[in-house]
Structure 1
Amino acid sequence: MPYLEQSAPAPDTAGAPLDGVLGRMRALDAALPSRDGIAVFNRVYLAVTEEVGRRIDAGRFADARAAVTLDVRFAERYLAAVDGAASDRRPPACWRPLFQLRRHPGVRPLQFALAGINAHIGHDLALAVVDACRSLGCEPAELEDEFDRVGDLLVTLEERIREELMPGPDLLQIADPLTHLLGAWSLERARDATWSAARALWALRRLPDLAEEFTDRLDAAVGFAGRMLLTPLPD
């Protein structure tokens, strides 16, 4: 019963520093080959999490406790997928394409980065909102400001990722396959869908069978989008 297992109440992380999850991501960054698809996404996510930490320390979040809890819960889902794959367990469907194709020579770094963002935003973030609400004893609406601030940072970072990892000016041609793939996915649309999914899951929390079915379908749909983003392309 994946939804029930993954969303069960866990020790309260409120007020806990981000050092633990940041340490894990930095260790992965040091251990993985730079061209590995997980390494590409991990660098992106590490930058996001470090920036969230700086903004929390600077008082940019009105409720620092809620922001830390949401961010830690969010990161834990990605790290759980990494741990599962390292132990030869199947990762969630949303992450499966990235783990399967992480070393494919025909997949470009920008594709790896966006496929990881797709999995993490499209699936993990919705469940992390529910996890955080359980830990904090609050409703999703009370986390909306923190959700929006993290989302705004991700949108800004996505723009930078596209600029830094875009392989060349030739990709501005509309016929280029990568240009077509990138135009088919939007982080802003994914973020909006995630907030709706989080609210739906919270409403379904007392109906575990329906919640599990909803989560499984969300996982599969996000995984399908990720597989499309990772379509191997010719040089």
Structure 2
Amino acid sequence: MAQLEHLTTPVDAVVSRMRALGATLPEQDGVAVFNRVYLAVTEEIDRRVDTGAFPDARAAIALDVRFAERYLAAVDAAAADLRPPACWRPLFQLRRHPGVRPLQFALAGINAHVGHDLALAVVDACRTLGCEPPDLEDEFDRVGDLLVALEERVREDLMPGPDLLQLADPLTHLLSCWSLERARDAAWVAARTLWALRHCGGIAEEFTERLDAAVGLAGRMLLTPLTG
């Protein structure tokens, strides 16, 4: 039990970091919008680990922490005026644009984090645990199911109401072009590919760069300003 308590400490630290970040950002800031969504996911994962919902708590914690570290590293890079990964740049560049709606910010962050960071986090966790991606598939699926459920709630909570129907029409069209389930499936394939290429040096690096750029392009489209 002492070992499990030690392993859950990083998750608590991640939660604390996200809460502290949220407290420093204006409510309408695009990064703040995504941070609230991701904080809810991380708190729920932490709760489920504590209640034994994950059969392999150590694997779930490793995946959750390595996943979160990718997002927090992007936040740190942007705060230091460095270039975050391409997948995150649209969100940081447009975070205060008046024509971008909160739902767009939330889904653009989810796109960056799932489309790019999740695949790399699986590889990171495998290295941490000394295992291979198939050994983490159950934890990957459980985290993915939680993200899909949360995405549905985010769409319901942040979608403009009937009084903004004129805005909602292009917004609905824009956001219907992206699917979290497809992004999650692609992330699993990317993770397995990166693991297979882990000893291939330049090829693995090129694959990662192309993945980053492709996810960044999707994020830029999700953040198309609709007003202002």
C-alpha contact 1:171 1:179 (8 A) present in aligned 2: no
Counterparts of 1:1-235 in structure 2, within 5 Å, are 16-169=9-162, 176-234=169-227
Q: Give unpaired runs (5+ residues) of structure 2.
A: 1-5
Measured against aligned partners, the alpha-carbon deviations of 1:13-54 in whole angstroms (never above 9, x if no partner) come to 955441111111000111100000000000000000000000
Deviation of the 1:169 alpha carbon: 3.0
Q: Secondary structure at the match of 2:86?
A: coil
- Which of the pair is proportionally richer in helix? 2
C-alpha contact 1:172 1:179 (8 A) present in aligned 2: no
Q: Give unpaired runs (5+ residues) of structure 1.
A: 1-12
Quickly say closer, same or farther: Cα 1:174–1:98, change in 2 above 3 A.
Answer: closer
Deviation of the 1:145 alpha carbon: 0.2
Counterpart residue number, 1:5: none
Q: 1:93 and 1:16 mapped to 2: Cα distance? A: 30
C-alpha contact 1:26 1:46 (8 A) present in aligned 2: yes
Deviation of the 1:171 alpha carbon: 6.8
Deviation of the 1:208 alpha carbon: 1.2
C-alpha contact 1:173 1:179 (8 A) present in aligned 2: no
Amino acid at match of 1:79: L
CA RMSD of aligned residues (A): 1.6
Q: 2:170 and 2:124 mapped to 1: Cα distance? A: 38
Q: 1:128 and 1:182 mapped to 2: Cα distance? A: 26
Q: 1:174 and 1:143 mapped to 2: Cα distance? A: 41
Q: 1:50 and 1:194 mapped to 2: Cα distance? A: 22
Quickly say closer, same or farther: Cα 1:155–1:212, change in 2 above 3 A.
Answer: same
Normalised to the residue count of structure 1, the TM-score between the two structures is: 0.91
Quickly say closer, same or farther: Cα 1:174–1:42, change in 2 above 3 A.
Answer: closer
Q: 1:47 and 1:119 mapped to 2: Cα distance? A: 17
Counterpart residue number, 1:4: none
Quickly say closer, same or farther: Cα 1:126–1:171, change in 2 above 3 A.
Answer: farther
Q: Secondary structure at the match of 1:176?
A: helix
C-alpha contact 2:114 2:183 (8 A) present in aligned 1: yes
Q: 2:210 and 2:94 mapped to 1: Cα distance? A: 22
Normalised to the residue count of structure 2, the TM-score between the two structures is: 0.94
Q: Secondary structure at the match of 2:141?
A: helix
Q: Secondary structure at the match of 1:53?
A: helix
Q: 2:99 and 2:168 mapped to 1: Cα distance? A: 18
Q: Identity rate of aligned residues, in percent?
A: 79
Q: How many residues align?
A: 223
Quickly say closer, same or farther: Cα 1:145–1:171, change in 2 above 3 A.
Answer: farther
Q: 1:177 and 1:15 mapped to 2: Cα distance? A: 43
